[in-house]
Amino acid sequence: MNYDQFFTDAVDALRRERRYRTFADIERNAQRFPRATWHSPGGPREITVWCSNDYLGMGSHPDVVEAMRETALKRGAGAGGTRNISGNSHEIVLLERELADLHGKDAGLVFTSGYVSNETGISTIVKLIPDCVVISDELNHNSMIAGVRMGGRQKAIFRHNDLDHLEELLQAAGNRPKLIVFESVYSMDGDIAPIAAICDLAERYGAMTYLDEVHAVGMYGPRGAGVAERDGVMHRVDVIEGTLGKAFGVVGGYLTGSRVVMDAVRSYAPGFIFTTALPPAIAAAATASVRHLKHSTKEREGQRAQVAKVKAALAAAGLPQMDTPTHIIPIMVGDAKACKAACDVLLTEHSIYIQPINYPTVPRGTERLRITPTPFHDDKLIAQLAEALTDVWSRLDLPRVRDAGHERRTVAMGTAPIAMPIAGG
């Protein structure tokens, strides 16, 4: 039996469909974020990263790095095992308190990633609710879809942000227990859910709510708790999930909610029980980041200003950006090969790194570049970006301004088989 052939065939299939992914070999420069070194085939080169989810540059913040260094020196590099075996490190206890306070909830529960928190969190919650119907937005992230599937309950998918459809499904579920699963900021289209209106429906139909704020924590709301905080509805959402790996700049994921729900997830979730905990140094760094962003608005304001400038520069250049109310700026290309070619030219000739976003992260025909400006992308870098994109668009004869809004995704990134590589998020 030639086992290798199975894998070769699988990878070849991706190549044929132009979905084979390559990742640039990059060294981030903490002193000069968002500058980095690209280990190109011709040797090391300095580049600017325009697609990082370290949205506020907190991964390089001196307080965060120092908390990690200092804690690693005192506690060592690892956690020493699962929390079941080794107990809670004090740093995780402090982090969970900080997160519960951030979202105005009784308790928080930290996991090794946002992916794990969604997968094990959603599946455990729905398994613990007898006869539950899960009602899920069609564009939910792969980790949420994995959680819904793993939960094994009946599911109903509502059209993206469509309140009428959501209401129809809530009505159809009758008196059964219901969990509504949705995101605040959708990461590939950069649009926002009507959280208050979803809570209205949840209250009217007696549903529990689970909200993923992965692309919003740190960045929206007076203390950086996310869009639900900004909209004044945080207390109306039952479970808020987030990541420590994007705007907070570290790694890890979490849930916050009532004491009883958090205690039940802690007691039943395999993705919590059977895996080594986050190291204390990571937890301490995350706590430093969350604390900092509760009080400091400088990063959020700086980011907002630079996002507005990038949007204006791209509009002036006639580039087909999607109109978003968030920090996520997708530029539509509409073809996998052209999208990859555009990114290659940007990197090799303009020293600008933007990862192409192709199927299955987005539907075929809506391939795009996804730009995420941070407060550290200064005006000079923005001018360089606009110039470079203008050059690439002319050189490759890519489509210019059009109504990119109608090309919003119509399938969820997670509808692809689980084994497929997903670059987004």
Q: Of the listed pieces 44-52, 85-93, 212-220, 397-405, which binds ligand PLP according to CB under 6 A? A: 212-220
The answer to whether 330 contacts ligand PLP (rule: CB under 6 A) is no
What is the nearest approach in angstroms of ligand PLP to the Cβ of residue 74? 26
With contacts defined by CB under 6 A, name the span among 63-71, 76-84, 94-102, 207-215 that binds ligand PLP.
Answer: 207-215
Q: Is residue 119 a contact residue for ligand PLP (CB under 6 A)?
A: no
Stretch that binds ligand PLP, among 22-30, 208-216, 296-304, 403-411 (CB under 6 A): 208-216
Residue nearest to ligand PLP (CB): 114
Q: Which of 151, 218, 253, 330 binds ligand PLP (CB under 6 A)?
A: 253
From the list 113, 123, 287, 303, which residue makes contact with ligand PLP (rule: CB under 6 A)?
Answer: 113
Does 324 bind ligand PLP (CB under 6 A)? Our answer is no
Q: Going by C-beta distance under 8 Å and a sequence separation of 6 or more, which residues neighbour residue 105?
A: 240, 256, 257, 258
Q: Per CB under 6 A, does 214 bind ligand PLP? A: yes
Q: How far is the CB of 326 from ligand PLP (least distance, A)?
A: 13
Binding window for ligand PLP (CB under 6 A); candidates: 18-26, 97-105, 109-117, 351-359: 109-117
Q: Does residue 246 have an active-site annotation?
A: yes
The nearest distance, CB 401 to ligand PLP, in angstroms, is: 28
59 is a contact residue toward ligand PLP (CB under 6 A)? no
Binding status of residue 187 toward ligand PLP by CB under 6 A = yes
**Member of 118, 275, 355, 361 binding ligand PLP (CB under 6 A):** 118
Q: Count residues contacting ligand PLP (CB under 6 A)?
A: 15
Q: Tell me if 183 contacts ligand PLP by CB under 6 A.
A: yes
Q: Is 212 in the site for ligand PLP (CB under 6 A)?
A: yes
Which residue stretch of 112-120, 146-154, 224-232, 362-370 sits at the interface with ligand PLP (rule: CB under 6 A)? Answer: 112-120
3-state per-residue secondary structure call for the chain: CCHHHHHHHHHHHHHHCCCCCCCCCEEECCCCCCEEEEEECCEEEEEEECCCCCCCCHHHCHHHHHHHHHHHHHHCCCCCCEHHHHCCCHHHHHHHHHHHHHHCCCEEEEECCHHHHHHHHHHHHHHCCCCCEEEEECCCCHHHHHHHHHHCCEEEEECCCCHHHHHHHHHHCCCCCEEEEEECECCCCCCECCHHHHHHHHHHHCCEEEEECCCCCCCCCCCCCCHHHHCCCHHHCCEEEEECCCCCCCCCEEEEECHHHHHHHHHHCHHHHCCECCCHHHHHHHHHHHHHHHHCCHHHHHHHHHHHHHHHHHHHCCCCECCCCCCCEEEECCCHHHHHHHHHHHHHHHCEECCEECCCCCCCCCCEEEECCCCCCCHHHHHHHHHHHHHHHHHCCCCCCCCHHHHCCCCCHHHCCCCCCCCCC
Q: How far is the CB of 388 from ligand PLP (least distance, A)?
A: 26
Report the distance separating Cα 293 and Cα 244, nearest Å: 12
* List 246, 294, 298, 311, catalytic entry: 246
Smaller CB separation from ligand PLP, 218 or 245: 245
361 binds ligand PLP (CB under 6 A): no
Q: Does 331 bind ligand PLP (CB under 6 A)?
A: no
To the nearest whole angstrom, how small is the minimum distance from the Cβ of residue 7 to ligand PLP? Answer: 25
Q: Give the β-pairing of 356-357 and 368-371.
A: antiparallel
Distances (CA, A) of 352 to 35, 44, 257, 348: 9, 14, 41, 8
Give the separation between CA 104 and CA 236, rounded to whole angstroms.
Answer: 10
Give CA–CA dist 156/140, Å, rounded.
Answer: 12
79 or 216: whose CB is closer to ligand PLP? 216
Check binding of 190 to ligand PLP (CB under 6 A): no
Indicate whether 355 belongs to the interface with ligand PLP (CB under 6 A): no
Q: Which of 243, 289, 321, 361 binds ligand PLP (CB under 6 A)?
A: 243
Q: Which residues are catalytic?
A: 246
Footprint on this chain of ligand PLP (rule: CB under 6 A): 113-115, 118, 141, 143, 183, 187, 212, 214-215, 243, 245, 253, 425
